[in-house]
Amino acid sequence: MPMPTLTPQMILQDQFAKLREEYKAKGDSIPKSDPENYAKQIQQLQGEFDKRKKDIYAQGSQFDQISQLAQAGLIPQEDADRAMWKMILPTETAQAMFQPESRNTPLSPGSLNAKSMTGSVSQFAGAAPEQGRWNPLSENRFEQPDLIKQYQAWRDFVGYDARPPVQQKQLDIQWDDMLAADKRYRWNPKSPEISALRAKGSISKAAAAAVLPGTPMAGTPKTSPFVQQVQASKPAPEKITVTRPDGSQVSVPKTEWLQQRTTALSEGWKEI
């Protein structure tokens, strides 16, 4: 018969079984010739046992909470398992068991500065409508709202959302630097719209949606008047004001907050 897969819960159960055996042996070793002294030592052992039992039960309760979060889809099961193992294993063992993932490595300079990458930035940014092109008295330029659309389309092209944060930051710097080198591009990477687009985490992205203007990506078909009328008749989603980890306040959809509340609170968000 195959052995069951080892889990943190099984290790915790084994610890409790060994704890009971340990204190039973200690109790059996106490001489019973002096009833008063025997009762005193048994009471002391019971107090020690209850304290250690309480700690094990508390850890088991934390395991249950983590498992419930995974079952509700609020955190990936893999992350839940990793968190429970790290709670029960010695630090060095946990570090050896969970080495940093190789996908967190940054892009090499060769990949980042390759013609295919730099060329994609130039092509997408240059595809924005050029303002002042037909006016000889006006300087040709690419305005921010149009560049935002092209930036969103470029991110889709390079698979931005599927990349680790370190690579996302590299790509953003590449885009910003290339546009900053050409005065025709009126690009402000510190604007609220760009900060919202680059927000990390589910709650941050929900908050970003409240900041971003209605700018569909390049190539997105326009919505028909009928659909626009139906959308306009829908009630606005209920929002809740919360505090970001940096202390600033922002409104996010209430349903999104309730779904992601546990994860958001662990990231430093607060309810008002």
Beta bridge partners, 142, equal 185
pLDDT band at residue 151, thresholds of 50, 70 and 90? very high
Sign of CA dihedral 245, 256, 101, 176: negative
What one-character-per-residue DSSP string does 152-188 give? HHHHHHTTGGGS-HHHHHHHHHHHHHHHHTSTTB---
Higher-confidence position of 150 and 7? 150
Question: What's the pTM value of the predicted model, to 2 decimals?
Answer: 0.41
User: pLDDT tens for residues 245-265?
Assistant: 767 777 777 776 776 777 677
* pLDDT the model gives residue 95: 72
Where in the chain are the domains?
8-97, 106-198, 199-272
pLDDT band at residue 238, thresholds of 50, 70 and 90? confident
User: pLDDT tens for residues 10-63?
Assistant: 888 999 999 999 999 999 999 988 889 989 999 999 999 999 999 999 988 888
* pLDDT the model gives residue 48: 93
CB 84 within 8 A of CB 60: no
User: pLDDT tens for residues 176-235?
Assistant: 999 999 999 999 999 988 988 888 654 555 555 554 544 433 333 334 443 344 444 445
Q: Mean pLDDT of all residues in the chain?
A: 78
pLDDT band at residue 174, thresholds of 50, 70 and 90? very high
* pLDDT the model gives residue 223: 41
Mean pLDDT of 71-93: 79
